Amino acid sequence: MDGTAPFRRFDGDDDSASRGERPRHDARRALAHFDALPLLRFITCGSVDDGKSTLIGRLLHDSGSLADDQLAALATDSARVGTQGGELDFALLVDGLDAEREQGITIDVAYRYFSSARRRFIVADCPGHEQYTRNMATGASTADVAVVLVDARKGLLSQTRRHSTIVRLLGLKRVVLAVNKMDLIDWDEARFRGIVADYRALANELGIDEVHAIPLSALRGDNVLGTSLNTPWFEGRSLLATLEALPALTPSTAAGFRLPVQWVNRPHQDFRGVVGTVASGRVRVGDVVQVLPAGTRATVARVIGPGRDLSEAIAGQPVTLVFNEDVDVSRGDVIAALDAAPALATRLRADLVWLDIAPLAVGQRYALRLGPKQVHASVVSVEHVRDVHTGGTHGSAQLALNAIGRVELALEEAVPLTRFDDERALGAFILIDRATNATAGAGTVVEAIAHGAERAYSQAFSVGPVDRAKAKGQQARCIWLTGLSGAGKSTLADALERRLHAEGRHTMLLDGDNVRSGISSDLGFAPDDRREHVRRLGEVARLMVDAGLIVIVSAISPYRADRDAVRARFAPGEFIEVFVDASPETCAARDPKGLYAKARAGGLSNAIGIGGDYEAPLKPEVHAVSDDSGVDDLARQVLATLGR
Amino acid sequence: MALSHLDRLEAESLHILREVAAQFRNPVLLYSIGKDSTVLLHLLKKAFYPARPPIPLLHIDSTFEFRQTYAFRNEVPERLDVELRVHINEDGLKAGISPFIHGAAVHTDVMRTQGLRQALSRGGYDCAIGGARRDEEKSRAKERLFSFRDANQRWDPKQQRPEFWDLYNGRIHKGESVRVFPLSNWTELDVWLYILREGIELPPLYFADVRPVVERDGTLIMVDDERLPLRTGERPAEKKVRFRTLGCYPLTGGIESEADSVEAIVEELLLATTSERQGRVIDHDPNSSMELKKLEGYF
């Protein structure tokens, strides 16, 4: 049997039907109407026999969402295997598996689709049995709201507690408490209020912010669509009216831009698109963004939406980004606005619901999927296991099937992630058993533990690099002077800073030799040491650029790859490479440190800075030839490129 | 600016198609030429625009498709620059399996279900994308978006992998596969409204036209070629009909309709009191529920 609705509700705004005429519809108007209806996804959960399937059946039936052939089939099924003594058994509408109908229980979550005049709905009917917790949790993870059913005769049961705990763990903070079968307790108001009080206590304990309690009878339809005459004391809205009014969980377009990279689309040499769905914020052509975890920056050249180019894309949209620069990006990286970088974590603490027969244990390794990122994770500790009956917690070395607890995980590499409450897309994960490939657990990050202080810049703070530079009335830059010893770097650096300083600019000069006495005091002059020295200079310069300064770096920095690596740490246009060039003869004649003389005398083993294997820049922003030009001319030449 | 309902459905489907491209080595999109797989084809183009989709189409040809279905299949994918592969169960063809001799259930099993299993194992496909929707049928309403199949291509409805948020677990061992349903959360109305919004071209069979039909057991079967054996006293009548789904022509009932455009179909759909699969002869075969067919590997 089919679940397609005949959409009768739409003719509510066409009064021809009430005049006995055939109602007319206009397709374009219908498109506009249905496309504009906001969607709400909700689940029904609670203990076995609390009436979840019956409630959904009642909603579908009373909202006119069942086709004639479906109703006919339901009548036949009800007579054959129904439990309502020949009356329509609505549970048969959702229990779609043969095993479910045979056993009269719900095994797996069923999704049904209907609309009211104000809203589209996707409802997931979740199984109540503890053994099918994994299926209940599956349904809850994509819902906006949970409808928790309670049998008015029984009050809160352990499955009510379990489901509410899972619902909260998976990010739902709004619950509709449907106190069902009120007809069987003669619409006893006091009993209803008692159950609501019990549930509010549980909600408080779990951190569920909003509880909308409704006394109803799913079987009879009281307070399902309209308000019931049996509950004159109830001042709230019916179930449908409540659901129509609740907001959906949509990603934030106001937050900073973040996009987890799903795939890199590279059909041929001339096109390279970074593919993913915008998790938060918005991205525009021309934006400078960063690629994490590497930290490289790139400029957005194209924002391609579904089938066409856009000027801007917002949270929730699937896009393909093309960058101006040829940056290294792969699946699992995160593209973020400069001021919206998530933490790079190598450890995390998380709440976890465990769904595998093999228990989670300390020391075990799993494949962790967070967004598109897959990384190996090992269990450092189980902080506690939650007792769903009492709400208390206790210690344990493992999480058994259907257990809920808090764990600490160590990741094999640094992963950009956030607390789940800050950003669902970067704070939700699954653990996969590496041998069976089963999805063994679902987790939400409660704390991201960053790996080491050198990554501290990637924490998101409210004031960003652009703000700091703006406060100084300038554009931050790194002017990197490279060249042989004696080429005139220090002289030029000094002249540059003097001029900038005179103009009221905020500057800093990093001289390779001076820095060596401090931050690089542990390094010598072997090629590897020189590399590390250049890397450190680059990092320090970048921090200072982030602070809003114009930084002048003067360092031989002999290797092209090292200088390019430094360049990649800056936004496009921020890094200005100046090749201070003089002939070896000129350098040797100047010989400010006496290195050339020493080399001639055979006292230097690594003669790189004096010509050994210095790799000149291929495309420097400025080529400053110092053989004949005076330092003032060279300084003017450099400053001209700042484009102030 | 906020995303509309169809934008959100489209976004979810595109996300899923991209996950398939990223997670699987050798995926394929099952293309039945019906409206749902035509919408899938449209989404496939969008997901990878401006590049050519990295996922080919696969048609399991029962040899009893409508003639207009074949014409559409042979023209549209090529025009859209998407690779099309066709598989016919040659064993079934040699055995002369026909819906008229062997019945709807046997024919569907051999030419579609077995044909599909054959094609998937011979092609070494680790993922097959299908256009099924959860609102179509009750066992479909229970299926995951990424639906695991064991090495025998069987679905175990009692042991489905849990599926959280949009974190689809496509990890499998060699020989196992995953069926992926990007349209799971679309309703029939959504599909038609999307076709209307996007101006998607469909096979003409979806639109009302005068066609030769015979009425059998309450369904209107089109006499599409000479293979349809007429029962005694049966004479094809010219009726204005259209089809709500497209399967094998002898097994697909048409409905009398005046709706000859997407607009008209949407308008008709809004007034409809019966559901889409009603015209499918195979669904009314009491010994072959959808779940049973799915267990065996049917899509």
Averaged pLDDT, B205-232:
92
Is the pLDDT assigned to residue A255 strictly greater than 70?
yes
Question: Could you tell me which residues are beta bridge partners of residue A512?
Answer: none
Question: pLDDT band at A605, cuts 50/70/90?
Answer: low
The model's pLDDT over A23-75, given as tens digits with 9 standing for 90+, comes to 456 899 989 999 999 999 999 999 888 888 889 989 988 888 888 888 888 88
Written as six digits, the tokens of B101 are: 């001799």
Q: How many angstroms away from the CA of B103 is the closest CA of chain A?
A: 21
Inter-chain residue contact B162 with A38, CB threshold 8 Å: no
The model's pLDDT over B32-54, given as tens digits with 9 standing for 90+, comes to 999 999 999 999 999 999 999 99
pLDDT of residue B1: 63
Please state, as a whole number, how many other Cβ atoms lie within 10 Å of the Cβ of residue A631.
15
Question: Which of A419, A462, A464 lies closest to A444, judged by CA?
Answer: A419
The model's pLDDT over B102-136, given as tens digits with 9 standing for 90+, comes to 989 999 999 999 999 999 999 999 999 999 999 88
Chain B residue numbers with beta carbons less than 8 Å from the beta carbon of A6 are: 270-275
* Alpha carbons B99 and B91: distance in angstroms, whole number: 15
Say yes or no: A306 contacts chain B, CB-CB below 8 A: yes
Averaged pLDDT, B210-233:
91
How far is CA A246 from its chain centroid? 23
* Alpha carbons A143 and A120: distance in angstroms, whole number: 13
* Alpha carbons A230 and A98: distance in angstroms, whole number: 37
Question: pLDDT band at A611, cuts 50/70/90?
Answer: low
* Alpha carbons B242 and B206: distance in angstroms, whole number: 5
Percent of chain B residues topping a pLDDT of 90: 77
- Tell me the one-letter amino acid at A224: V
Q: Is B111 exposed, middle or buried (0-12, 13-18, 19+ CB in 10 A)?
A: buried
* Alpha carbons A148 and A47: distance in angstroms, whole number: 9
* Alpha carbons B162 and B176: distance in angstroms, whole number: 17
Question: pLDDT band at B269, cuts 50/70/90?
Answer: confident
Please state, as a whole number, how many other Cβ atoms lie within 10 Å of the Cβ of residue A224.
24
Among B15, B165, B194, B245, the strongest candidate for a mutation testing the A interface, having the largest count of A CBs within 10 A, is B165
Let me know: does A434 contact A451? Beta carbons within 8 Å: no
The model's pLDDT over A411-466, given as tens digits with 9 standing for 90+, comes to 999 999 999 999 999 999 999 999 999 999 999 999 998 865 333 444 556 777 77
Give the burial string for B28-45 (b: 16+ CB within 10 Å, else e): bbbbbbbbbbbbbbbbbb
pLDDT of residue A464: 76
Averaged pLDDT, A276-286:
97
What is the greatest pairwise CA distance in chain B? 63
Question: pLDDT band at A123, cuts 50/70/90?
Answer: very high
Three-state SS sequence of chain B:
CCCCHHHHHHHHHHHHHHHHHHHCCCEEEECCCCHHHHHHHHHHHHHHCCCCCCCCEEEECCCCCCHHHHHHHHHHHHHCCCCEEEECCHHHHHCCCCHHHHHHHHHHHHHHHHHHHHHHHHHCCCEEECCCCCCCCCCHHHCCCEEEECCCCCCCHHHCCCCECCECCCCCCCCCEEEECCCCCCCHHHHHHHHHHHCCCCCHHHCCEEEEEEEECCEEEECCCCCCCCCCCCCCEEEEEECCCCCCHHHEEEEECCCCCHHHHHHHHHHCCCCHHHHEHHHHCCCCCHHHHHHCCCC
B14-53 residues touching A, CB cutoff 8 A: 14-15, 18-19, 21-22, 45-52
pLDDT of residue B285: 47
Q: Which of A47, A115, A557, A626 is catalytic?
A: A557
Inter-chain residue contact A355 with B162, CB threshold 8 Å: yes
* Alpha carbons A21 and B271: distance in angstroms, whole number: 12
Chain B residue numbers with beta carbons less than 8 Å from the beta carbon of A273 are: 50-51
* Alpha carbons B265 and B260: distance in angstroms, whole number: 7
The model's pLDDT over A172-218, given as tens digits with 9 standing for 90+, comes to 999 999 999 999 999 999 999 999 999 999 999 999 999 999 999 99
Averaged pLDDT, A133-162:
95
Is the pLDDT assigned to residue A77 strictly greater than 70?
yes
Give the burial string for A349-378 (b: 16+ CB within 10 Å, else e): bbbbbbbbeebbeeebebbbbbbbbbbebe
Is the pLDDT assigned to residue A22 strictly greater than 50?
no
Say yes or no: A132 contacts chain B, CB-CB below 8 A: no
Backbone angles phi, psi at B18, to 5 degrees: -70, -35
